Structure 1
Amino acid sequence: MSQPATLTATEREVLDDVARGLSNIQIALKQFRSHETIRTHVKHILAKLKARNRAHAVAIAHDIGIFRCPLPHLPTTQEIPRRVSPQGRARCEPGKPGRAASAPARRGVRHRRGPR
């Protein structure tokens, strides 16, 4: 069995920011480094973890326990609340999908195209 990949402290910091969804330029600005340096760190991370891309590297790092927390500060998802009218009915009228019951009709409204 092969040894698990050993990443340097800087590579772990870069990988943590990659897991947060930051681009190389955003990571460079955050860490006060050149974006080319960050690009090199990402290349080394991909090579050490034998990953195909950034997302694969994060998945591998999570599986082998490189991250200190269960998931690297990823936002939790919540159910989107459904908007209901004050009377407790849905806002759209039956038979008219996508039109709100209280929306005024748009008749006689013209849109200009381009400069006059």
Structure 2
Amino acid sequence: MLERIKVCFTESIQTQIAAAEALPDAISRAAMTLVHSLLNGNKILCCGNGTSAANAQHFAASMINRFETERPSLPAIALNTDNVVLTAIANDRLHDEVYAKQVRALGHAGDVYWQSLRVVIVAIS
């Protein structure tokens, strides 16, 4: 058991080292996309499935409430929070439309669609 725990720590450290090399540019570009959208008066539409849905909700809550310091609220909507909408679309339109239909209804040019898990950030045009 102790050996397995040590292996988990070692693998985690190795993954973090690899991520530190591979991800900074992509994270910076994603952050700038979010900042530009918000500075231009747009919003972030975020979503996720399973555990990633909780991440999307946490992200939206942090944008609306606060993150680390008090600041004005920032517009963000978690698209995975309304069970009635989710199940109605899934029932009528299949699962591949659950978020697409909401983005078409709520999104405007300049908004950002943020999908947790894959971390897909797309400026809506």
TM-score for both structures, normalised by structure 1:
0.27
TM-score for both structures, normalised by structure 2:
0.26
Structure number with bigger Rg: 1
Relative to its length, the structure with more helix (as a share) is 2
Relative to its length, the structure with more strand (as a share) is 2
Q: Whose RCO is larger (CA < 8 A, sep 6+)?
A: 2
